[in-house]
């Protein structure tokens, strides 16, 4: 599926391998191959440019791990950036106790919407839920019968009536309550292409039925055009996620790599076959793994990840010793941050004095964490050890690497100064006093 990209990355690795130290020039030359491969895979032009700029800034800024070929390290950066490009994604489907959860599927005709509705019902059933399928596509001839047939195959009830799409959906929620179903899946009408009448009809259902989540079903075969379709639906309906179908076909990857970056809407599931059990959770790490292929490239990523893990454990120990002395650097700060994120202490994080300011009001802490990590990752070792040397041009390079505005880098550095100050004060306190500060 992603052969073109895999080939381009292998080629870049081959060209750069064994060169010892990499210069900005040969990093750029290697990334030219990567860029070409992405464009040939039909990834959106702006997405490719941003992606390459981030990889380049990180590759230029990174400290070279002694035991690793610098070219291999670039492959790891590409992998990490691919994961960041497609994620994060929340794999859960909401649950509620007051009424059935309503999931609204929308999409163009032929995208695989009806099939996906049945696939989703089967997935939910396997997870112990009681779904109800709703045949609200009164547009495409045969769609209602198709859903009824699919429902029978997986033994899931199908609600239908020949009134109007809005009425079908409204009454279906009542029917679900009567039948003690906990999740309603609406198979709404599509069109051959985006048109205003379709959007109005979907908005009407959205307003009257108030679905808990709205998913766009979109065909991966249309490449980066999928991102434009997603944008149009998202403008009208505020999508929660996309379900990308036909990834088993001859697609080059443009859709998978463009959708999140262009629209901000994550992919939540992927369809990988016509059969009803062919729906998978979308896992950015797994997809990035597929893109790199299973051979040489993934081996490189795994090797470097293991080395980085070992180094971070060693450093964490050093860090704790330094912290006890009152030293606090950006490197340590980043590790604290990712450690907190890993152990799921986002809540605690927001209560640590100073750190709370790094998470803007209403923003998902995980997104804020990623941004901060991105900023620190785009710095050189010297910059991390001594933030005072970060002048305007360095700020610009860091911002490019992290995909943020220059002001955000400045703002972060200011906040970091405050945290460092606080940490110094805290190091003077006893453990008990520190705990009291954190838990309020
Ligand atoms: P709708 O018009 O959006 O409701 O589309 P359908 O559900 O009728 O699907 C259109 C065609 O795409 C059918 O032939 C499906 O079997 C096929 N299809 C749907 N999802 C997938 C998938 O993940 N992989 C493959 N290969 N075919 C799929």
User: Would the annotation count 226 as a binding residue?
Assistant: no
pLDDT (tens digit per residue) in 35-53: 998 998 899 999 999 999 9
Residue of 115, 119, 221, 278 best suited for mutating to test ligand 1, as the one with most atoms within 8 Å of CB: 115
**pLDDT at residue 35, as a whole number:** 92
Cβ 113 under 6 angstroms from ligand 1? yes
Expressed as residue numbers, the domain containing 38 is 3-86
Cβ 142 under 6 angstroms from ligand 1? no
| pTM recorded for the entire structure | 0.75
- Stretch 219-233: mean pLDDT: 94
Are residues 272 and 159 part of one domain?
A: yes
- 259: domain CATH number is 3.40.50.300
Cβ 272 under 6 angstroms from ligand 1? yes
Classify residue 92: in a domain, yes or no. no
Nearest to 18 by CA among 52, 69, 86, 80: 69
- The residue among 86, 120, 146 that closes a domain is 86
Classify residue 118: in a domain, yes or no. yes
- The residue among 290, 318, 350 that closes a domain is 290
Are residues 178 and 208 part of one domain?
A: yes
Are residues 259 and 221 part of one domain?
A: yes
Q: What is the DSSP string of 238-295?
A: --SEEEEE-TTSS--SHHHHHHHHHHSPPEEEEE-SSSTT-EEE--HHHHHHHHH-SS
Report whether the peptide linkage leading into residue 207 is cis, meaning its omega lies within 30 degrees of zero.
Answer: no
Res 114 pLDDT > 70 = yes
Residue of 274, 276, 280, 282 best suited for mutating to test ligand 1, as the one with most atoms within 8 Å of CB: 274
DSSP state, residue 200: H
The C-alpha atoms of residue 364 and residue 371 are separated, in whole angstroms, by: 11
Are residues 243 and 390 part of one domain?
A: no
Are residues 235 and 137 part of one domain?
A: yes
Residue of 107, 109, 112 best suited for mutating to test ligand 1, as the one with most atoms within 8 Å of CB: 112
Are residues 342 and 279 part of one domain?
A: no
Are residues 149 and 121 part of one domain?
A: yes
- How many domains does one find in the chain? 3
ipTM: 0.99
pLDDT interval class at 326 (50, 70, 90): low
Are residues 127 and 81 part of one domain?
A: no
User: Which atom of ligand 1 sits closest to the CA of residue 245?
Assistant: 23
Are residues 71 and 107 part of one domain?
A: no
pLDDT (tens digit per residue) in 203-218: 999 999 999 999 999 9
- 40: domain CATH number is 1.20.120.140
């Amino acid at each position: 599926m992603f052969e073109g990209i895999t080939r381009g990355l292998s080629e870049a690795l081959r060209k750069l391998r064994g060169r010892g130290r990499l210069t900005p020039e040969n990093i750029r030359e290697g990334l030219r191959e990567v860029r070409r491969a992405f464009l040939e895979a039909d990834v959106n032009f702006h997405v490719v440019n941003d992606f390459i700029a981030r990889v380049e800034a990180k590759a230029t800024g990174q400290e070279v791990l002694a035991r690793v070929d610098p070219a291999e390290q670039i492959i790891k950066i590409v992998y990490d950036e691919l994961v960041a490009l497609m994620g994060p994604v929340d794999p859960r489907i909401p649950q509620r106790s007051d009424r059935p959860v309503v999931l609204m599927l929308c999409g163009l005709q032929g995208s695989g919407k009806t099939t996906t509705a049945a696939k989703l019902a089967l997935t939910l059933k396997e997870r112990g839920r009681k779904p109800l399928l709703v045949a609200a596509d009164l547009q495409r001839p045969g769609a209602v019968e198709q859903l009824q047939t699919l429902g029978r195959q997986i033994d899931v009830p199908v609600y239908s009536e020949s009134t109007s799409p809005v009425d079908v959906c409204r009454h279906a929620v009542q029917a679900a309550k009567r039948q003690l179903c906990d999740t309603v899946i609406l198979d709404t009408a599509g069109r051959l292409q985006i048109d205003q009448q379709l959007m109005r009809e979907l908005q009407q259902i959205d307003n009257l039925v108030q679905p808990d989540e709205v998913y766009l079903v979109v065909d991966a075969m249309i490449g980066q055009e999928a991102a434009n379709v997603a944008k149009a639906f998202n403008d009208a309906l505020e999508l929660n996620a996309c379900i990308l179908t036909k990834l088993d076909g001859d697609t080059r990857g443009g859709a998978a790599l463009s959708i999140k970056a262009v629209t901000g809407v994550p992919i939540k599931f992927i369809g990988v076959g016509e059969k009803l059990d062919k729906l998978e959770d979308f896992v950015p790490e797994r997809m990035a793994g597929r893109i790199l292929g299973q051979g040489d490239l993934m081996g490189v990523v795994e090797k470097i990840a293991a080395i980085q893990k070992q180094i971070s454990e060693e450093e964490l120990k050093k860090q704790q010793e330094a912290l006890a002395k009152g030293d606090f650097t950006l490197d340590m700060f980043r590790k604290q941050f990712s450690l907190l994120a890993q152990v799921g202490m986002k809540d605690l994080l927001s209560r640590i004095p100073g750190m709370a300011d790094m998470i803007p009001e209403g923003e998902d802490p995980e997104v804020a964490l990623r941004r901060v990590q991105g900023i620190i990752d785009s710095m050189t070792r010297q910059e991390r050890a001594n933030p005072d040397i970060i002048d305007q041009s360095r700020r610009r390079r860091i911002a490019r690497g992290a995909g943020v505005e220059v002001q955000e880098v400045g703002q972060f550095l200011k906040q970091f100064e405050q945290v460092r100050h606080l940490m110094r004060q805290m190091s003077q306190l006893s453990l008990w006093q520190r705990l009291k500060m954190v838990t309020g």
